[in-house]
Amino acid sequence: MLKFISNKGGGESVDFETAILDGFAVDGGLYVPEELPEITLDQLKEWKGLGYVDLAFEILSLFIDRSIVSEEELKDILKTAYAPFEKEEIIPLYPLKTRKDTFIMELFYGPTISFKDVGLAFLVNLVNFFLERRKEHLSVIVATTGDTGPATAYFAAGKSNIDAWVLYPKGLITEEQERQMTTLQHANIHPVGVANCPDGGDDLDAVISKFYANKTFKEKLNLSSVNSINWGRVMMQTVHYFYGYLQVVDEVGEKVNMSVPSGGFGNLCAGSLARKMGLPIKYLVAANNKNACLDRIFSKGEFTKEAIHETASSAIDILIPFNFWRYLYFSIDKDAEKIKNWMDSFKETGNLKFDEETFETYKKGFLSNSATDVETLTLINEIYTSENYLLDPHGAVSLQATDVLKQQLGKEKLICLATAHPAKFPETIKKALITKELPTQATHQSIEIAKKRCEKVYLCDYDHLEEALMHAMETNWDLTKGA
């Protein structure tokens, strides 16, 4: 049976179910599989004609022991998870007309029209499956910079075994993203708008970490998370890399490049692990905005926390790419002691410079770039004007990086990940297109419906968040669980 361990080396190995329900490992590290499965070219050839859900079944089966989730149970979970998606293919790929062999992977056809639906559709349904079997209740807590919260809330809504607490930095996400959380009237969904967060969503992650460290509180509320700290998210996100690859290649074995708009490195971590498993990716591009946390890591070897900038691509306004530690663990031959020392050092100082050998090792196969808002908006306008195709600001960051890095990337086919629907960013789209009226491509029925619904939300100032949220969560638990 494949077991899971902390990338910091603490605690015992656990089974898949425990890793999923715990979220963080007992020592505060991130769960990783003891071994990554190896996928051969022959397997990829066999999978070439599979649809997304069938491909997901094959890949997830490499990580999930049949004694924990049976073949039939896994198929049922996948079928339920992806039933609400708009497109039959789940993830369409759009070939750009203005750039040869360049494809936009449209990851935004789930219910909350962002790529977070792709991972959370499966993960939340999987968590609920385990809870129903155990007859247990879980308090799920996540911090969001715009997309994780709505997806978590949607898939958890109405599930009697889950209370979902979704924290967001008030004023630092769009009203459209906010309303996707606050207009859900289900009793088990608890949006929390937090004002005055100096470091945006990273501040919320810090408070959540304190809750995990509070053993009494964590055990009373049966606390867990479905943020990308949860192995289930990263595991599920490996699938769309395999799917995109198999959709665009003429012959299995040829290499492709993939560009990912990224802040927290969860999506990119999945891509890096897919490559380590055997997917023929030449370069993964870490496409940053002005916050540049990953650009500093891959161009300078520096893991640093700097002042946050509000940008047009707000979902990747992140300072601490936490999943980088998961990727780094596999890049340095699973040396957990080094990971622990680096993580602890960064936590204490907020600054880390990797040694030259480590830097050269982990940056292999990676390129990076930081896009300005002007570049992002200009590219949205260019693509819309030239081919009547509308990128969201994060997809534009992804494509902008490849334009800058064109010579280094070479002539291989290129897949740029577009991680949200333009309808989530109407003011940014208006600014980019220099118009007061949104084109049809920048609207979506779900967004329009949410504008007309009542909102339900907890409001709190960051200075009081830890105490106030603990009180709210404990009060809700006592009232609803009959304590």
pLDDT score, position 482: 57
Interatomic CA distance for residues 108 and 458, integer angstroms = 27
Residue with tokens 């789940």: 90
Token couple for 170: 């008030």
Burial class (CB in 10 A: 0-12, 13-18, 19+), 469: buried
Segment-wise mean pLDDT, segments of 10 residues, the chain, 483 residues: 95 96 91 97 97 98 97 98 97 97 98 96 97 96 92 96 96 94 97 95 90 92 91 97 98 98 95 98 97 96 92 90 96 97 93 96 97 98 98 98 97 97 96 95 96 96 96 94 61
Interatomic CA distance for residues 222 and 231, integer angstroms = 18
Whether residue 116 lies in the annotated active site: yes
Interatomic CA distance for residues 245 and 235, integer angstroms = 17
- Number of C-beta neighbours around residue 343 at 10 A: 21
Which position among 45, 75, 116, 255 bears the catalytic label?
A: 116
Give the orientation angle of helix 373-387 with respect to helix 426-433, to 10 degrees: 70
Token couple for 173: 């996400």
The hierarchical CATH code for the domain 137-221+453-482 is 3.40.50.1100
Interatomic CA distance for residues 378 and 388, integer angstroms = 14
The hierarchical CATH code for the domain 90-113+231-443 is 3.40.50.1100
Sign of CA dihedral 260, 262, 265, 267: negative
User: What values do phi and psi take at 273, rounded to 5?
Assistant: -70, -35
* Comma-separated ranges of CATH 3.40.50.1100 domains in the chain: 90-113+231-443, 137-221+453-482
Across the strands, what pairs with 366? 284
CA distances from 362 to 299, 306, 331, 349, 359 (A): 11, 22, 6, 22, 6
Across the strands, what pairs with 6? 31
Across the strands, what pairs with 252? 254
Residue 153 near residue 164 (C-beta atoms within 8 A): yes
